[in-house]
Amino acid sequence: AGKAYRLVMENVVGVWSEAEFSYQIVITEYAGHARDYVQSLDLSEWSGIVIASGDGLVYEVVNGLFSRNDWQEAVKMPIGHLPCGSGNAFAASIIRHSKQPIAESVEKFVVQSAILIATHQVLPYDVA
């Protein structure tokens, strides 16, 4: 959590502030917390979910959405990924799909992803 939080605070907050992109930071406190959080989240209050992590937390959030009673609607929620882990394949595939080269440093990769998210560049995804 410390690395992701630092990367977001140092590299993303300014980008999103410039873009007037509003957000709320939720720091996970235990294994499965993200899954629990999205299972009880009132999705009508949000336009998307952004995850600052490696791939593991992305899949935890997706599994949480599929675990909801309204999962057929919940899985339509846009998901953004700020690549802050050791495995960032989800974010890399989004960047590749946007026809951009993947930035060489983690900091630039995070900024690159933050810009795509702030400009609402949404791609359909298949997690099956």
The phi, psi pair for 94, rounded to 5°, reads -65, -45
Say whether 36 is catalytic.
Answer: no
CA atoms within 13 A on the CB side of 33: 8
Q: Which of 10, 11, 6 is nearest to 27 (CA)?
A: 6
Task: List Cβ neighbours of 5 (8 Å cut-off, separation of 6 or more).
Answer: 25, 27, 52
Q: Which of 36, 42, 55, 126 is catalytic?
A: 55
Closest CA to 116 of 99, 126, 104: 99
- Catalytic annotation, residues: 55
